[in-house]
């Protein structure tokens, strides 16, 4: 696989994750999605940056599900959203 193909795959995956976050915000489910958007907006994050952070959390949660061969852990996902701008790996995005 070429570097361009890998970049295309990453771009596609990132776009799907952001689309999923947009759908969560539109549906109001989970409630933590809108709460996180509101909190990070209040402290000065741009919408695009917030969506990127939320997409990173969603990707982390999906990876956890796949690695553990378990169901999607919605409570853990919501807690990880609420912890932003601290990412699931413990690093601070700010």
pLDDT in tens, 27-61: 999 999 999 999 999 999 999 999 999 999 999 99
Instruction: Count CB-CB contacts under 10 A for residue 62.
Output: 15
Cα angle: 54, vertex 91, 55; to 5 degrees: 15
Q: Write down the pLDDT at residue 89.
A: 87
Asked if 85 contacts 40 with a C-beta cutoff of 8 angstroms, the reply is yes
Q: How confident is the model at residue 75 (pLDDT cuts 50, 70, 90)?
A: very high
Asked if 37 contacts 84 with a C-beta cutoff of 8 angstroms, the reply is no
> Which residues have CB under 8 Å from 40's CB, separation 6+?
49, 50, 53, 84, 85
Q: How far is CA 77 from the centre of its chain?
A: 9
């Amino acid at each position: 696989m070429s570097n361009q193909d890998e970049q295309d795959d990453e771009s596609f995956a990132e776009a799907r994750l952001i689309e999923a976050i947009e759908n969560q915000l539109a549906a109001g489910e989970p409630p933590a999605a809108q709460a996180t958007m509101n909190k990070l907006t209040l402290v000065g994050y741009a919408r695009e940056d917030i969506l990127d952070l939320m997409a990173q959390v969603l990707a982390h949660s999906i990876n956890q599900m796949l690695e553990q061969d378990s169901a999607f852990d919605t409570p853990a996902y919501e807690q990880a959203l609420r912890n932003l701008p601290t990412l699931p790996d413990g690093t601070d995005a700010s």
